[in-house]
A and B are shown apart, each in its own frame.
Chain A
Amino acid sequence: MTVLILTCEQDVTADMVVAELHGAGVPVVRLDPADLPGAVAISGEYVHGAFQGHLSVGGRLVSTSGLRSIWVRRPGVPAARAAEPSAWLTEEASQALYGMLNGTGARWMNRPDAALRARHKPWQLHLAQRTGFPVPATLITTFPQAARDFAERFPDLVVKPVSGTHPQDPPRAVPTSRIAPDADFAAVAFGPTLFQRRIAKRADIRLTAVGDRLLAARKPAAADADEVDVRFAPSPGPWQPADVPPRIARSVHDFLRRAELAYGAFDFAEDADGIWWFLECNQSGQFGFVELDTGQPIARALAHWLARDEAESEQAAPSPAPAH
């Protein structure tokens, strides 16, 4: 049985897992949907009540029935590198590939529909509240007056993109940023804006969840309180392994179960009392930088999850969440 990895060629973080799978003797097929059609070829036949599908890349041919698991890492846009790319061809290639793969019995990390839903930060906040995480007071609004009122109630605020994405025309980054006390909120009317009470943090926490396995890392916060985004702040030191508080562990498992995610990289801000405040869950968040600093075997955990068989998965799977 084969592990299918959907990612771009430049993804050296995926390489860390591929190398682990090679070491364990687990068959791997790695492809980038951007190369479909072209270097990647697919075929699926629905005849006499049965389905037979095949994928081909780099001289490798695999049957869809022979797929053990599918890891969606950093896939390119389907058909992006086609000889004559178009939005229509992208839709055709996307539906053919993901539609066929959705019909297989392979386990996903993560299933595309669950991944799409999990990328919505407002939905994350909702689920985080329901699963017992401490969540900083948050407002998402296009009402300038609502922003002013919120700033009166919570004078120390940060702003961050609702989507977590960044403008590309021209390319810019929008880090989580502290708002000046005299901010003019009129421009809130020109785009949904996410405000959040700033947590006076003493450390950043990155918790990587691989199936049931939780690996947390901690980094002391930068001395400059105005640089609130750990991705942009000067690093006061490397990430260090951290123990996961039992309450947080329960919430993480519950969150992943309800979100139908097999993988999630959670960001928390640890305050002076040691409380871990939920900031976000990146359903395909990076993990290499944590492993490099801490030595935590995240790539090996991923390889193990991808390689294990279905019976083992069911045995290890947590019980279903109650309906709400």
Chain B
Amino acid sequence: MRPFALDYARPAEEWEVSTPYSYDSALQLNVLPDGRIAAHDYAVLREWGATTSTAGSKTHFDD
């Protein structure tokens, strides 16, 4: 009774990871431990894949 499309399913990526940045409610931005704005550090964004279009994420419902 498994739908056809699920024959092509694969395990989802693990997204419950801790990131090196945390939300600063005063700035309304995520900041790195040294206080820099995470979004300004492209190396961090690339490493953590936080802006990537990837299927299977719980938070990225659109793509």
Contacts and interface: CB of A to CB of B under 8 A. Distances in A.
Contact of A159 (B4, B10, B63): B4
A282 B62 contact: yes
Chain B interface SS verdict (over half): loop
Contact of B55 (A29, A168, A232): A232
Interface in B19-50: 19, 21, 23, 25-30, 37-40, 42, 45-46, 50
Interface in B48-63: 50-56, 58-63
Contacts of A206: 53
Contacts, number: 147
Contacts of A46: none
Chain A residues touching B, range: 35 or more
B55 A288 contact: no
Contacts of A8: 59
Nearest to B52: A289
B6 A174 contact: yes
B19 A10 contact: yes
A165 B12 CA distance: 12
A191 interface: yes
From A13, A28, A29, A166, name the one whose CB has the most chain B CB atoms within 10 angstroms.
A166
Given A19-B29, A159-B8, A164 B52 contact: no
Contacts of B54: 231
B45 A19 contact: no
Contacts of B39: 12-13, 15-16, 18-19
5 contacts: A167-B9, A172-B9, A193-B4, A282-B53, A282-B62
Given A161-B5, A171-B56, 20 more contacts: A10-B59, A12-B50, A29-B28, A58-B25, A167-B6, A172-B9, A173-B10, A174-B5, A187-B3, A191-B6, A194-B5, A206-B53, A267-B63, A282-B63, A285-B63, A286-B60, A288-B45, A289-B51, A291-B51, A292-B46
